[in-house]
Amino acid sequence: MARIPKGSRRWRLVRRTLYVLAVGAGGLCVAIGIMYARTKVPPVNAAARAQSSTFTYRDGTTLAQVGRLNRVAVPLRDVPPYVRGAVLAAEDRGFYRDPVVSPSGLGRAVWAAVSGGSRQGGSGIAQQYVKVAYLNPEQTMSRKVKELFIAVKLSRSRSKDWIFEQYLNTVYFGRGAYGVQAASQAYFRKNVGALSPAEGALLAGLIQAPSYLDPALGHTAQTRARWRYVIDGMMSTGVLPKGPPPAFPPVAPAHTESTYAGQRGYLIERVIGELHAHGFDDDQIYRRGLRVTSTIDQRTQAALPEEVGHATGGDRDLEVGLASVRPGTGEILAAYGGRDYLTHQYDNAFLAALPPGSSFSPFVLATGLRAGIGLRSTFAATPAGPVVNDNDAKATSANLLTATVRSYATVFSRLGAKVGASAAARAGLPGRLPPSGVHAVDQAAAYAALVNGTYAAPHILAKVTDRSGKVLLDVRPRTRTAFSPAVAADVTFALQEAILSDAKADHAARPFLPGRPTAGTIGTTDHNAAGWFCGYTPDLATAVVVYRASNRPVVNIGDAPQRSSADVPAKIWRAVTENAETNVPARPFPPPAWVGSTRNFAPSSPPPTTPPPPTPVRTTPPASAGPTAPPKRPSVTKPSGTDRPMPGKTAPSRTPKSTG
């Protein structure tokens, strides 16, 4: 590289640049020195500032108070070496070797703060302790700088053993437990000194995301991966001998206190889950006195246990999941996760993924309408490979309106093979055939989109304020167009006819509500492994699913889908809808638009066996007889494919047949 001649113009420019950089660096050092000198180590505020958060129903009535300072301090010598080693392996493997503040970690945190990227990471054990014990949890640059300076000052006045001991007695492990002793009791019902290495590794792994990684609440695969990361770290640091890892330890049930009894525990977990999704951490939720307003309607929610109990008739093997969603906003107005959270912490409304069976057919129909295939179009209704109709009903052919009314899976199997199910994906459901397992809450939101074609993502949070009343979060609907209003009107018309047909035929499942426009359909599955009823009015969409805890069929009448498997869901749906809309004025659905053309996809002979559909929309059952043939049922497997397996249950070995 050529040398720059001294005295040249270029040399003077380089010299001035170096001078400016040197002055800037010196000024920065002086500024940092002044800031460091002025930063005082404040008194520990964790216990003094701890305050429970209040969750409320949409009307402001208290749903629950969460958060209590459950802490029992223990000296470092009482924590087994392998438990200490597990925490170090999980959070700061160089804690005793490296400076108390990691320059590289701080650099990553500063860059993230400046660039607007992820602000997680960058803090070792000392900085984590400072954040929890002395500062607020806000992810700001000023807080990060204070955290750094206080950590450095602490390291000059305190030993690393002291800092580590304070950290172990302060850090949050989930379940309301602050500190390793409280966590040991919460997860394993024993003192910290009695923990095994595997149990210590699990607790250490939880620190990263306590509520999310609790193996009793879900995401078991992620929890095991984190646990194995800690075990590997313990082996690499010599805390554990290298070799086969120990067995993953079982944990005690979560949240056995009465606050979580009945339906309340499911709602609390849903609210906390959404708070996490919006960036609130456990310290804010459990200790910062938030006021969280949910979308849950107290009157509708309070009636669910009695309505479900009446419909199930004391059948303790029958599990029920339910969600009610407001069309256009996605607000969850009510949800039923199981009989009692304290005995069944697997949420049937949000976690149980069950094949939708024939309840998926409306979205295949919407896809066909979008493709220009109108309601009067005809398809063969004979068995399509393994797909048969409900109660093994026989039919030669049917138009799409009649196939919807009678739940002919064979027709929708053929329609799906021709057009697919892309409309389902726009409504928040799987967009492929056969569809994979779906959750009741997603079904409710998808059916809500059939009111006018607008899909709104389901949510349970309405607003979050701090204890001074400052609004921290005001949730707005997240919407998109799922299908055109004309397509939605035609699907709704067909589903209104389905409910009217059930009322006229006097089926046990009678979701018809006199004087109130309603639309919906049953959902049947192979082997009768689950039963659905999904329906809506212009103001409320509700999905109800049942399955057996024993993995036996809902009704044991052979393998053909049976309409009676949806009787209980239909009864529950009617009771919930009737109660929720007691004081809501009835509004009509739009009339059918009759989009698309009439096409014949059935064999040329014999001619179609069903007459053209009627066009008027009725609000009461007609006097004359109409389509009464038994409807079709798709096959179902028990909850599978979820992050968390159902306690004490295994997925059935049989594979569900393809259904509409």
User: Is 257 an annotated catalytic residue?
Assistant: no
Compute the distance between CA of residue 322 and CA of residue 545 in angstroms, rounded to an integer: 6
Q: Which whole-number Å values give the CA distances from 45 to 41, 49, 133, 387, in the listed order?
A: 11, 6, 6, 65
DSSP labels, 230-261:
HHHHHHHTTSS-SSSPPPPPP-PPS--SGGGT
Give CA 508 to chain center in angstroms. 33
User: Is 91 an annotated catalytic residue?
Assistant: yes
CA angle, residues 564, 568, 570, in degrees to nearest 5: 90
Give CA 640 to chain center in angstroms. 15
Spatial strand order of the sheet with 461-465 comes to 62-66, 53-56, 291-294, 461-465, 471-474
> Nearest to residue 374, comparing CAs of 407, 410, 419?
419
Helix runs in 391-461, H state only: 400-406, 409-419, 422-426, 440-448
> Nearest to residue 547, comparing CAs of 310, 368, 268, 318?
318
CB 439 within 8 A of CB 640: no
Looking at residue 165, its amino acid is E
CB 188 within 8 A of CB 80: no
In the three-class reduction of DSSP (H, G, I as helix; E, B as strand; rest coil), residue 490 is classed as: helix
Cα end-to-end span (Å), the chain: 74
> Which residue among the candidates 53, 102, 358, 413 is catalytic per the annotation?
358
Compute the distance between CA of residue 149 and CA of residue 642 in angstroms, rounded to an integer: 44
> Which residue among the candidates 52, 91, 165, 501 is catalytic per the annotation?
91
The residues assigned a catalytic role are: 91, 358
